[in-house]
Amino acid sequence: MAKRKTYRRKKPGFKIPLFAVAGFVPGAANLKRAYDDKIHGQTSGLANIGTEAGRIYLGFDNRIGANPKWNLAWLWEGSFPIVLGFVASKVASRLGANRMLARTGLPIKL
């Protein structure tokens, strides 16, 4: 007699990768600070956001009055936290933390 196969079904739904989303928080906070405080000396808040986004995500300062320059340290405020969040999410998945969270029924994963 043939053995009956058991199928595992996944629950339908969208899981939010918590560590990956948390990596975007420092960059968003810096962009808000640039908009509110106009820290780059430009009159428009959107111009300040553009300058700050170039600095923290690309490491490049492109203001007209300053000499355009590239600095690796600026990436620690925007790009590196995103990369570290995705790496931490992958490590948590490999260690089985997401499986433990799935058993609780919460709509998040690490």
Per-residue pLDDT of the chain (110 residues; tens, 9 = 90+): 667 777 666 666 677 788 889 999 999 999 999 999 888 888 888 988 988 899 899 988 877 666 778 888 889 999 999 999 999 988 988 888 878 877 777 777 77
Question: Counting Cβ atoms within 10 Å, is residue 4 exposed (0-12), middle (13-18) or buried (19+)?
Answer: exposed
CB-side exposure of 81: number of CA atoms within 13 Å?
Answer: 18
* Residue ranges of E strands in 1-110: 16-17, 60-61, 69-70, 108-109
pTM of the model: 0.74
